[in-house]
Structure 1
Amino acid sequence: MTAQDGGLGDLEVWIDQDLCTGDGICAQYAPEVFELDVDGLAYVKTAEDELLQDKGAAVRVPLPLLSEVADSAKDCPGDCIHVRRVSDQVEVYGPDAE
């Protein structure tokens, strides 16, 4: 953990497509991490632009994009973006965050 990441450690993000409203706010905030697919729903994608469509698929949050990913989770109208610590799977941003 570093001071730069607020002591959170490595984070990953995933989207619950069952709740996704397809507004695309996440893709506007962090197009490097989120993308809308032809089905109108948002998905996470790898650094190599591979769209991950498996249920619960997660990608690491690049540290330079932490603020954008956190804002996506906070502003998502579907409350479907989950950001959690890799070490213990505790959600730090999103609908299940404490």
Structure 2
Amino acid sequence: MRMWIDQSKCQNSGLCEEEAPELFAVGGDFLAYVREGDEVLDQPGGEASQAEVPDHLVGLAEDCARACPASCIHLVG
């Protein structure tokens, strides 16, 4: 499974990073981005920056996507 965040819809609640810092990070622009390991995929962000979700974290990614108040976390596959 892959995931990405639509930064144009992000409301910067910080919920995703708080619940799953291994999957998400809030950048210097105060918007959320996905992580792939230790790398924050903030260049360019959006759909072009999709992170592979480790199998053991798929459930957590799904929970975060459902809980996002802006519905800007997208899961693919």
Please report the TM-score for the alignment, with normalisation by the length of structure 2: 0.89
1:77 and 2:66 are equivalent in the alignment: no
Which stretches of structure 1, 4 residues or longer, exceed 4 Å deviation after superposition? none
SS of 1:66's equivalent?
A: helix
Shift of 1:69: 0.7
Unaligned runs of 5+ in 1: 1-10, 86-98
1:49-92 deviation per Cα after TM superposition (whole angstroms, max 9, x unaligned): 1111113210111111111110110010111000011xxxxxxx
1:37 and 2:27 are equivalent in the alignment: yes
Q: Percent identity?
A: 39
User: Which of 24, 27, 31 is 2:14 aligned to?
Assistant: 24
Please report the TM-score for the alignment, with normalisation by the length of structure 1: 0.71
Distance (Å, rounded) in 1 between the aligned partners of 2:66 and 2:33: 16
Max radius of gyration: which structure?
A: 1
Unaligned runs of 5+ in 2: none
Question: RMSD of the alignment, in Å?
Answer: 0.9
If each structure's helix is expressed as a fraction of its own residues, which one has the higher value?
2
Distance (Å, rounded) in 2 between the aligned partners of 1:51 and 1:84: 18
SS of 1:82's equivalent?
A: strand
1:51 and 2:29 are equivalent in the alignment: no
How many residue pairs end up in the alignment? 74
